[in-house]
């Protein structure tokens, strides 16, 4: 018996019989309880082990110690060629595309407009696998003008039209190059400009093909809060407006792709970001790429190779500061995005290499070291995968889609109101009437060339290159599209480009945004649910590509 227990028992001898029994009972109960806990603890050891692992995982950011030995970076092995050309329209060309604008012709150039061609082929340099990406500094082209451009480039280069994808930056500072404007001041310059545009792009395609080289594309992700939600409600006036909404959701993802030849030469940088280029608006009279110009300058100065911009799903997204006439604001917005892109580029590994755990080094602490190492042969083969898919999705037209005759009558009425306001010297009323003229003109363009029937045969194009899938989408989609697809496929890099070969369907708002009086619903030709149908079709196609 221990001395302490012996001392306790000696002191109990002075207690009454009842008190001694009570204390003895407490001691025996405690001993029994301890035996029970010992047994339960032994039986629950497996569950506790799992709990311990979970706690450790939570403590170390979602992974247990030493469970990850390779930090995978998405890469694509292919052949690539690039070419850049100036496509700036002549000063004096028709420039007015904002309803609130009061000028007709451009008065100068803020920054040059460019076309950048990126020709891509599979790792075997098979011409049949060829994809031609053309990044163009324009808002968009209507159906007739787009078809003429694609036909001209295809005819001149011999490339199948189906292999051509034109990604419009969607700048609102370049003017609308529509043939329906040829009779307006400066509009006489539009037809020859469009001919020259097609000639320039065809030349650039040939130049890019002649410079094809074996290459690797390395992808990375950064963040930039230039893009902000732009669906808002004016409480005082009781209607929706298109403008900065600090409470709305926005996607800050900046996806970058660095194309490097096997010889180590940087060939191109692609930046995929969702943000309407509407820094410059009705007060601007200069030809401008908007923020994309300064973005390119920042990236190209640092990398010494062409930077092409691919507009993401930005139907409900625009710059925090926009709708101004001050080009310095556009440059500031562009630099903000440019620096974010450079930050992501600086974090990329060398081509064909990955960051791998190299083992411990005993120092003041035991340090875990990492280093860049060559890919395994199986990983290398994975980056060479190549697959192209086309999917047609029938999207129902909206039930209240106006007829051509209705819009023509509306246009005549708006033009009459504008003429009367001008004759009376009422600048405000003439400006508002002109805005209605612009709206009616665009609505007429929207419905003039739609296929017959109750639905539009919407085409989406996907091509897999190794660890990445590039997706080309016609129209202007709400940003939930890219957020949803990237959430569903977190292990894939998805390059999501909208306004691909124009915008035949215009806006695709999400279902919840219908019925709120938003401009995007008014502009859309499609019924509620169209965006969700495109998301599901894209997700299905991605799943099939992965499984192939």
Residue 229's pLDDT is 98
Higher pLDDT, 333 or 64: 333
Residues 224 and 227: their CA atoms lie apart, in Å, by 7
Average pLDDT (355-373) is: 94
What is the DSSP code string of 396-419? EBPTTPPPHHHHHHHHHHHHHHHH
Average pLDDT (483-505) is: 97
By CB atoms closer than 10 A (0-12, 13-18, 19+), residue 477 is buried
Structure token digits, residue 56: 């450790």
Higher pLDDT, 200 or 22: 200
Res. 126 pLDDT band, cuts 50 70 90: very high
Please name the residues in contact with 219: beta carbons below 8 A apart, sequence gap of 6 or more: 73, 74, 75, 76, 255, 256, 257, 258, 348, 467, 468, 493, 495
Cα-only R_g, the chain: 31
Give the range among 37-46, 105-114, 212-221, 409-418 with minimum mean pLDDT: 37-46
Residue 13's pLDDT is 72
Residue 448's pLDDT is 75
Structure token digits, residue 112: 């040059």
For 141-161, b/e burial (b = at least 16 CB within 10 A) is bbbebbeebbebbbeebebee
Residue 418's pLDDT is 81
Question: What residue segments make up the domains of the chain, in order of their start?
Answer: 75-350+382-397+459-547, 404-448
Residue 351's pLDDT is 95
Average pLDDT (13-28) is: 72
Please name the residues in contact with 339: beta carbons below 8 A apart, sequence gap of 6 or more: 298
CA distances from 318 to 181, 346, 458 (A): 27, 26, 25
Give the range among 15-29, 121-135, 416-430 with minimum mean pLDDT: 15-29
Residue 414's pLDDT is 79
Res. 70 pLDDT band, cuts 50 70 90: confident
The rounded percent of the chain whose pLDDT value lies above 70 is 90
Average pLDDT (60-75) is: 72
The rounded percent of the chain whose pLDDT value lies above 90 is 75
> Between the CA atoms of 480, 482, 487 and 491, what dihedral angle is there, to the nearest 10 degrees?
180
Residue 464 pLDDT greater than 80, yes or no: yes
Residue 4's pLDDT is 62
Residue 172 pLDDT greater than 80, yes or no: yes
Please give the mean pLDDT across all residues of the chain: 91
CA distances from 469 to 110, 222, 232, 302, 372 (A): 35, 18, 33, 27, 25
Residues 363 and 379: their CA atoms lie apart, in Å, by 33
Residue 440's pLDDT is 74
Give the range among 1-10, 468-477, 515-524 with minimum mean pLDDT: 1-10
Structure token digits, residue 488: 């569903």
Q: What pLDDT, in 10s, does the model give residues 185-230?
A: 999 999 999 999 999 999 999 999 999 999 999 999 999 999 999 9
Higher pLDDT, 157 or 432: 157
Residue 58's pLDDT is 56
Residue 490 pLDDT greater than 80, yes or no: yes
Residue 115 pLDDT greater than 90, yes or no: yes
Average pLDDT (380-385) is: 96
Res. 438 pLDDT band, cuts 50 70 90: confident
Residue 491 pLDDT greater than 80, yes or no: yes
Residue 56's pLDDT is 52
Residue 253 pLDDT greater than 70, yes or no: yes
- CB atoms near residue 79 (< 10 Å): 22
Res. 5 pLDDT band, cuts 50 70 90: low
Is there a contact between 213 and 80 (Cβ–Cβ < 8 Å)?
A: yes
Residue 34's pLDDT is 62
Model confidence pTM above 0.95? no
Structure token digits, residue 242: 């298109």
Residue 40 pLDDT greater than 70, yes or no: no
For residue 468, give the 3-state DSSP assignment. Answer: strand
CA distances from 256 to 242, 299, 346, 455, 497 (A): 28, 11, 11, 35, 13
Residues 274 and 183: their CA atoms lie apart, in Å, by 34
What sign for the dihedral angle of Cα 224, 230, 233, 234?
Answer: positive
Residue 36's pLDDT is 61
The backbone torsions φ and ψ at residue 78, rounded to the nearest 5 degrees and listed phi first, read: -165, -175
Residue 118's pLDDT is 98
Write down the residue that tokens 């037809």 correspond to.
191
Residue 53 pLDDT greater than 70, yes or no: no
Res. 32 pLDDT band, cuts 50 70 90: low
Residue 52's pLDDT is 54
Residues 548 and 536: their CA atoms lie apart, in Å, by 18
């Amino acid at each position: 018996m221990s001395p302490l227990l012996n001392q306790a028992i000696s002191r109990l001898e002075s207690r009454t019989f009842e008190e001694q029994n009570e204390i003895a009972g407490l001691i025996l109960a405690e001993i029994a309880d301890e035996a029970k806990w010992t047994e339960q603890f032994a039986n629950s050891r497996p569950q506790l082990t799992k709990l311990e692992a979970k706690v450790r995982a939570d403590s170390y950011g979602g992974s247990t110690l030493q469970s990850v030995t390779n930090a995978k970076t998405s890469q694509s092995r292919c052949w690539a060629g690039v070419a850049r050309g100036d496509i700036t329209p002549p000063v004096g060309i028709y420039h007015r595309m904002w309803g609130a604008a009061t000028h007709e012709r451009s008065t100068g150039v803020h920054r040059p407009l460019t076309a950048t061609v990126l020709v891509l082929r599979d790792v075997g340099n098979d011409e049949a696998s060829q994809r031609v990406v053309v990044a163009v500094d324009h808002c968009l082209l209507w159906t007739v003008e787009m078809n003429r451009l694609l036909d001209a480039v295809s005819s001149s280069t011999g490339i199948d039209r189906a292999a051509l994808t034109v990604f419009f930056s969607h700048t609102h500072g370049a003017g609308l190059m529509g043939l329906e404007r040829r009779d307006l001041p400066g509009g006489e310059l539009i037809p020859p400009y469009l001919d020259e545009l097609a000639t320039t792009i065809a030349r650039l395609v040939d130049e890019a093909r002649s410079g094809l080289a074996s290459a690797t594309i390395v992808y990375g992700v950064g963040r930039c809060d230039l893009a902000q939600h732009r669906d808002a409600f004016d409480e005082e006036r009781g209607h929706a407006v298109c403008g900065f909404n600090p409470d709305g959701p926005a996607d800050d993802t900046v996806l970058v792709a660095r194309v490097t030849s096997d010889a180590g030469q940087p060939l191109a940088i692609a930046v995929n970001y969702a943000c309407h280029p509407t820094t410059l608006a009705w007060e601007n009279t200069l030809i401008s790429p908007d923020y994309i110009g300064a973005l390119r300058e920042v990236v190209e100065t640092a990398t010494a190779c062409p930077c092409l911009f691919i507009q993401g799903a930005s139907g409900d997204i625009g710059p925090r500061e926009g709708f101004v006439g001050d080009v310095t604001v556009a440059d500031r917005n562009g630099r903000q995005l440019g620096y974010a892109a450079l930050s992501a580029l600086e974090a990329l590994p060398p081509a064909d290499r990955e960051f791998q755990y190299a083992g411990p080094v005993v120092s003041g602490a035991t340090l875990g070291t990492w280093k860049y190492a060559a890919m395994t042969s199986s990983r290398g083969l994975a980056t060479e995968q190549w697959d192209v898919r086309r999917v047609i999705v029938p999207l129902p037209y909206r039930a209240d889609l106006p007829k051509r005759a209705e819009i023509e009558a509306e246009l005549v009425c708006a033009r009459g109101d504008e003429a009367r306001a001008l004759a009376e010297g009422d600048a405000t009323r003439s400006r508002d009437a002109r805005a209605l003229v612009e709206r009616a003109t665009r609505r007429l363009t929207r419905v003039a060339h739609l296929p017959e029937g109750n639905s539009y045969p919407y085409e989406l194009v996907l091509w897999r290159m190794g660890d990445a899938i590039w997706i080309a989408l016609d129209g202007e989609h709400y940003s939930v599209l890219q957020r949803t697809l990237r959430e569903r496929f977190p292990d894939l890099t998805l390059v999501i480009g909208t306004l691909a070969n124009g915008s035949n369907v215009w806006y695709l708002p999400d279902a919840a945004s219908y019925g709120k009086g938003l401009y995007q619903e008014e502009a859309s030709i499609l019924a509620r649910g169209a965006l969700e149908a495109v998301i599901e079709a894209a997700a299905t196609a991605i799943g099939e590509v992965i499984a192939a």
